[in-house]
């Protein structure tokens, strides 16, 4: 059941507010705290099967929501592209050490500043969702 822990954690970050408080608690204990179903059932005072059912329902809600909205997939694409832009800017900055153009250095700094701001916005948006 935990084969896709990273994916589930990303889905939870984006869509966790769609779950009930109890579902969020059980999901967090299972995926983020890495407790077993038995450990969670003892803490929550419900059966192991009840914990499993709640987690499976939560996973279904999160996956279905991602299938409809695709925000996690879009985020990953934006993040990859921003990293490519940062790498290209770093290459230009390194190449500019030979040319020593103030205008190129200024443009590279601006590109890196903007990509950093965009990365911050993306991270903030994913935490709000």
How many domains, in total, are found in the chain? 2
For residues 90 and 86, give the distance between their C-alpha atoms in angstroms, rounded to a whole number: 6
For residue 128, pLDDT over 70 is answered with no
Residues 99-123 have pLDDT tens digits of 889 999 999 999 999 988 888 887 7
pLDDT at site 37: 96
For residues 125 and 86, give the distance between their C-alpha atoms in angstroms, rounded to a whole number: 20
- Considering only CA atoms, give the Rg of the chain: 21
Select from 69, 87, 112 the last residue of a domain: 69
Same domain for 115 and 63?
A: no
Select from 32, 50, 69 the last residue of a domain: 69
Residues 57-92 have pLDDT tens digits of 999 999 999 999 999 998 888 888 888 998 999 899
Select from 50, 69, 88 the last residue of a domain: 69
Same domain for 94 and 40?
A: no
CA atoms within 13 A on the CB side of 38: 0
Domain residues for the domain of 25 are 5-69
For residue 27, pLDDT over 80 is answered with yes
pLDDT at site 2: 53
Same domain for 20 and 47?
A: yes
């Amino acid at each position: 059941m935990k084969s896709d822990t990273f994916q589930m954690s990303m889905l939870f970050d984006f869509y966790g507010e769609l779950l009930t408080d109890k579902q969020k608690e059980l999901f967090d204990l299972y995926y983020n705290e890495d407790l077993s179903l038995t450990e969670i059932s003892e803490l929550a005072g419900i059966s192991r099967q009840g914990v499993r059912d709640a987690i499976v329902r939560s996973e279904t809600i999160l996956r279905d929501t991602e299938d409809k909205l695709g925000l996690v997939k879009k985020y990953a694409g934006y993040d990859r592209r921003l990293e490519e832009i940062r790498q290209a800017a770093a290459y230009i900055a390194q190449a500019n050490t030979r040319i020593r153009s103030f205008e190129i250095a200024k443009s590279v700094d601006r590109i890196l500043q903007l990509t950093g701001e965009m990365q911050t916005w993306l991270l903030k948006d994913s935490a709000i969702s």
